[in-house]
Amino acid sequence: MRVKIMGAAAGGGFPQWNCGCRNCSRLRLRSFQGTARSEVQAAVSSNGSDWFLLGASPDLKTQIDHFPALQAKSGPRNSPIQGVILTSAEIDQTLGILMLREFQPLTIYATKGVQQILRETNSMFQALHRVADQARWVNISAGQTWPLATLNGADSGIVCDAFRLPGDFPSWTPASTRAELTETDAVIGLTLSSSSGKTMKWMPGAPLDSPELIESLEHCDVLFLDGAFWDDDELIHAGVSGRTARIMGHTPISGPGGTLDLLAGLTRPRKIFIHVNNTNPILDEASEAHAQVRAAGWEVAYDGMEICL
């Protein structure tokens, strides 16, 4: 299974359009040791021809422009993209769906709650249903395991397992809709298994809030984990928000009870931080924070990163 990281940043990307923090400013001035990153997006394929997207970021169009394997081949309308697996209804995980609206067949896997928010409270998503053979939504739920199928019904060679992650539905969910939703539908993580038996966990935006969740991370070969913030009070220090990482639903990387601390005993998986916020010092490859992360055996995902398993 090929895993392509098309975007590695948290919502807003790096640099963020309205951010003049130390990282963003230096990146724009080309005095930063590190690279720009678009919003979190991955694509996976077992055969190199049929691809599935993990999430659909607002940067998806540009991300496809940067990844030839996802581009149309010669001839009328066509795409190697078979489907999209949505892990929440947040804008930075779903907006790209609307960029895949040009009358192209597409399977979209999402929980019932995520579908309800997107399809019943956002009329724009009807643009995916202008012709008969366009988007097909498939219900998934935490606890479910299913094989990913290509658009012509063939086995993709990838098996997907959804599990519940802590987190809520988006803040903009209408109250009347929210009252109808099942809490376990809000945010899911994914375990993808390749035909070689290797597994990858995809958890780009949730805190490590239970010993069970932490223990489960040992059971994979590659782990993509939320690396939004280095410090709990990073946004406060940067002067861009009054909220801590933990209040926003993220486990900071550093400090007691931070990710490095909680996962110091993790031995099996290759460990990769993704969904990195523009203010996070680990983006700066010359920083002490970056050195600490690397010394602890972690990698920092970047746009264009590719893994085979």
**What token pair was written down for 7?**
């975007």
**What token pair was written down for 293?**
């992360």
Using alpha carbons, list the distances in angstroms from residue 98 to 55, 145, 185, 187.
Answer: 12, 27, 21, 20
Q: Which of residues 141-200 bind a second copy (CB under 8 A)?
A: 170-174, 177
Task: In angstroms, give the least distance from the CB of 34 to a second copy.
Answer: 16
Task: In angstroms, give the least distance from the CB of 118 to a second copy.
Answer: 9
How far from the centroid of its chain's Cα atoms is residue 254's Cα?
21
53 or 223: whose CB is closer to a second copy?
A: 53
β-bridge partners, 272: 224, 299
Residue 237 binds a second copy (CB under 8 A):
no
- The amino acid at 63: Q
**Cα 268 to Cα 167: distance, rounded to the nearest angstrom:** 26
Count CB-CB contacts under 10 A for residue 26.
Answer: 15
118 or 220: whose CB is closer to a second copy?
A: 118
Give the end-to-end CA distance of the chain in Å, rounded to a whole number: 5
Among 75, 197, 256, 265, binds a second copy (CB under 8 A): 75
**Cα 46 to Cα 26: distance, rounded to the nearest angstrom:** 39
Q: Which of 63, 49, 272 is nearest to 158 (CA)?
A: 49
Task: In angstroms, give the least distance from the CB of 112 to a second copy.
Answer: 17
How far from the centroid of its chain's Cα atoms is residue 252's Cα?
17
- What is the per-residue binding string for a second copy in 195-234, x denoting contact by CB under 8 A? ----------------------------------------
CA atoms within 13 A on the CB side of 28: 12
132 or 264: whose CB is closer to a second copy?
A: 132
Task: In angstroms, give the least distance from the CB of 145 to a second copy.
Answer: 30
Stretches 92-100, 156-164, 254-262, 288-296: which one binds a second copy (CB under 8 A)?
92-100
159 or 240: whose CB is closer to a second copy?
A: 240
**Cα 92 to Cα 204: distance, rounded to the nearest angstrom:** 11
Among 69, 91, 151, 248, binds a second copy (CB under 8 A): 91
Size of the site for a second copy (CB under 8 A): 60
Among 1, 5, 43, 64, binds a second copy (CB under 8 A): 64
65 or 218: whose CB is closer to a second copy?
A: 65
Q: Which residues of 259-291 are buried (b: 16+ CB within 10 A; e: fewer)?
A: bbebbeebeebebbbbbbbbbbbbbbeebebbe
Residue 69 binds a second copy (CB under 8 A):
no
Residue 274 near residue 204, CB atoms below 8 Å: yes
Task: In angstroms, give the least distance from the CB of 22 to a second copy.
Answer: 9
Q: Which of residues 261-290 bind a second copy (CB under 8 A)?
A: none
**Which chain residues interact with a second copy by CB under 8 A?**
11-13, 15-21, 24-25, 28, 36, 58-59, 61-62, 64-65, 68, 70-79, 81, 91, 95, 98-104, 117, 121-127, 130, 170-174, 177, 238-241
